[in-house]
Amino acid sequence: MKFNIKKFISYYKPYRWLFVKVLLCALVAASITLIYPLGIRYITKVLLVQNPPGAVRPILLIGLGLLGLLVIQTFCGGYFDYQGHVMGAKMESDMRKELFTHLENLSFHYFDNHRVGELMSRITHDTLMLAELYHHGPEDLIIYCVKFFGAMGIMLTINWKMTLVMLTILPIMCGYVLFFSKSVHRAAKQGYERISDINAQIEETFNGIRMVQSFTNEEVEKQKFEQENHRFLKARKRIYGSEMLCYQGIDTFVELMSILIVVIGGIWITKGTMDLADLMTFILYAGYLTDPIRQLTRIIAQYQDGLAGFNRFIELLNTQSEIKEVKNAVELTDVKGQITFEDVSFAYEKDQENILDSISFDIPSGEYTALVGHSGGGKTTLCSLISRFYDISDGRILIDGKDIREVTIESLRRNIGIVQQDVYLFSGTIIDNIRYGLMEASEEEIIQAAKKANAHEFIMAMPKGYHTHIGQKGIKLSGGQKQRISIARAFLKDPAILILDEATSALDSESEKVIQGSLEKLAKGRTTLVIAHRLSTIKNASRILVIDDHRIAEMGTHAQLIHKNGVYAHLYQTI
């Protein structure tokens, strides 16, 4: 994937003046660092050697000057370190928000094919790596360039022969670092992939912890986790092995350079071609030359990880939802609820067999229609097409005569309410979960919706009533209670079209009676589609559509279909 430099730089734009100040402070701090060895050299070479009796006052003045520079360096260093990290964190926050918003609007199809744990790693780990690159990348480049080339320039003016001796070792050292940095990066990349797999495994296991424990399969999940954990351990061993070879080699080169400086410098001092002050200065500046090379592996890894993370970030941002809104999409307003399917076909993938094939029917506004058929026959898929959670392969779906692909997605879904078998509740309070149906609803409106859903009584029996916390996914509530909150949410939304997806199939008979009464009140005056598991619950439907072999096999009232003695009659007798 080609690196998008323009997009990369664009994230600096909101913080460009802060970025400039951070770089200026880094430049000042790095430049001041180069002055200290010159001050020490001047004191030892000029003042102490040439003028010992009168050196006290100049030494004090130079000391005060160096102290003043230290204050400036400390301020600049603190500023670019803190503000630079803050800038990186802000950019990370911006990118994470952008990525989250983008992923949130992708179609169901995308989430059908991607693990949540992997996406979590992209949003958290990749953006964290990018924050480090955005902050440390330019800053480290300036600091190390100033130190390296500044030190080299000063050393050439002091003793060019000794500088050339050092320059014979530096290229070898750089080559060694570059060679091993590749293996360090490869090992680190494998480590990141393994931790992503561990996150996905943990997320999957803990989301299904009740299933795990109910089937006493803790040992199975433990083994799956241990397998991923062992793969991560192997990756970490490779990282540490590569880092050991790289960093120990660097340390060896640094010590070798120090030995050469001391030995060669000592020989030259005995011959009178170099003095002790210059040798001390060289030893100090040698650190400025080797430190950037010592950090080269980290810098390269940071750039590689950051740029790879940025490419993955852009790849996700460039992932387009299959559900696209046309440019001139209109608002779906004053909805009566007529639903029309015209030769609708659908397959999850282009090369797969159709789940639905040439489906056609018309539901007048306000009609109570049931969908029945064998499990996996496409009933839920058909209802998902109405809300454009997936887009049809062929044909048209119309609401009040308008093609749903020509109206805004937000206005379409705003007019459709869904009550499912598997109710999803968010962590938080009961009132927060009901309010999810209409975020601007008042507390009184929420209470009225709960009363219509026959939920008010059990809510008031809770420790804090509507403000009771229900735990993750509403774990503190029974199945019937969750369902009634879901129905209250639908009452609050007040949609023109209602879809009931086997809303009572997982409940006991007593809870089903209560819920069924709530659902009947909710369906009154709305166009309602019911996916029925228990066929006895839809006897009074205005019409029943029987889906079999990817098509509508039969259509009619309960009595008509029983009399026909076809697919529906067989289902009714066997279910």
As given in the structure block, the two tokens for residue 400 are 């009040």
* DSSP type of residue 398: E
As given in the structure block, the two tokens for residue 469 are 């916390």
pLDDT band of 523, cuts 50, 70, 90: confident
Gap between the Cα atoms of 182 and 199, Å rounded: 26
Lowest model confidence (mean pLDDT) among 344-348, 447-451, 507-511, 521-525 = 507-511
pLDDT at 505 over 80: no
Q: Can you give the pLDDT at residue 512?
A: 66
Q: Can you give the pLDDT at residue 24?
A: 93
Gap between the Cα atoms of 158 and 166, Å rounded: 13
pLDDT at 48 over 60: no
pLDDT at 506 over 60: no
Q: Can you give the pLDDT at residue 385?
A: 92
Given phi > 0 = left and psi -120 to 50 = alpha, else beta, which region is 465?
A: left
pTM of the model: 0.71
> What is the DSSP secondary-structure string of 43-86?
IIIIIHHH-STT-HHHHHHHHHHHHHHHHHHHHHHHHHHHHHHH
Q: Can you give the pLDDT at residue 3?
A: 67
Strand order in the sheet with 368-373: 416-420, 497-501, 527-531, 368-373, 543-548, 551-556
Give φ, ψ of 398 to 5 degrees.
-120, 145
At 468-492, the pLDDT tens digits run 998 877 888 888 888 888 888 888 8
Highest mean pLDDT, choosing among 46-50, 56-60, 227-231: 227-231
Q: Can you give the pLDDT at residue 303?
A: 74
Share of the chain above pLDDT 90, in %: 15
Gap between the Cα atoms of 533 and 523, Å rounded: 18
Lowest model confidence (mean pLDDT) among 21-30, 314-323, 562-571 = 314-323
Q: What is the mean pLDDT of residues 366-382?
A: 87
Q: Can you give the pLDDT at residue 398?
A: 94
Q: What is the mean pLDDT of residues 288-310?
A: 75
As given in the structure block, the two tokens for residue 510 are 């007593």
As given in the structure block, the two tokens for residue 236 are 């970490």
At 72-102, the pLDDT tens digits run 999 998 998 899 888 888 888 888 888 888 8
Gap between the Cα atoms of 31 and 35, Å rounded: 7
At 261-285, the pLDDT tens digits run 888 888 888 888 888 888 888 888 8
Classify burial at 90, counting beta carbons within 10 Å of its beta carbon; exposed 0-12, middle 13-18, buried 19 or more.
middle
Count other Cβ atoms within 10 Å, centred on residue 41: 20
Q: Can you give the pLDDT at residue 510?
A: 61
Closest to 193 in 3D by CA, of 125, 240, 133, 242: 125
Lowest model confidence (mean pLDDT) among 81-95, 328-342, 520-534 = 520-534
Count other Cβ atoms within 10 Å, centred on residue 86: 14
Contact 260, 289 (CB under 8 A): no
What mean pLDDT value characterizes the chain?
83
pLDDT band of 55, cuts 50, 70, 90: low
Share of the chain above pLDDT 70, in %: 94
At 207-219, the pLDDT tens digits run 777 677 766 778 8
Q: Can you give the pLDDT at residue 507?
A: 58
Gap between the Cα atoms of 490 and 504, Å rounded: 15
3-state SS, residue 529: strand
The CA–CA distances, whole Å, from 197 to 139, 201, 300, 310 equal 33, 6, 25, 20
458 vs 45, which has greater pLDDT?
458
pLDDT band of 407, cuts 50, 70, 90: very high
119 vs 462, which has greater pLDDT?
462
First-last CA distance in the chain: 54
pLDDT band of 195, cuts 50, 70, 90: confident
DSSP lists the bridge partners of residue 500 as 419, 530
Helix axes 160-207, 127-158, angle to 10 degrees: 170
Contact 501, 383 (CB under 8 A): yes
Closest to 413 in 3D by CA, of 318, 514, 335, 526: 335
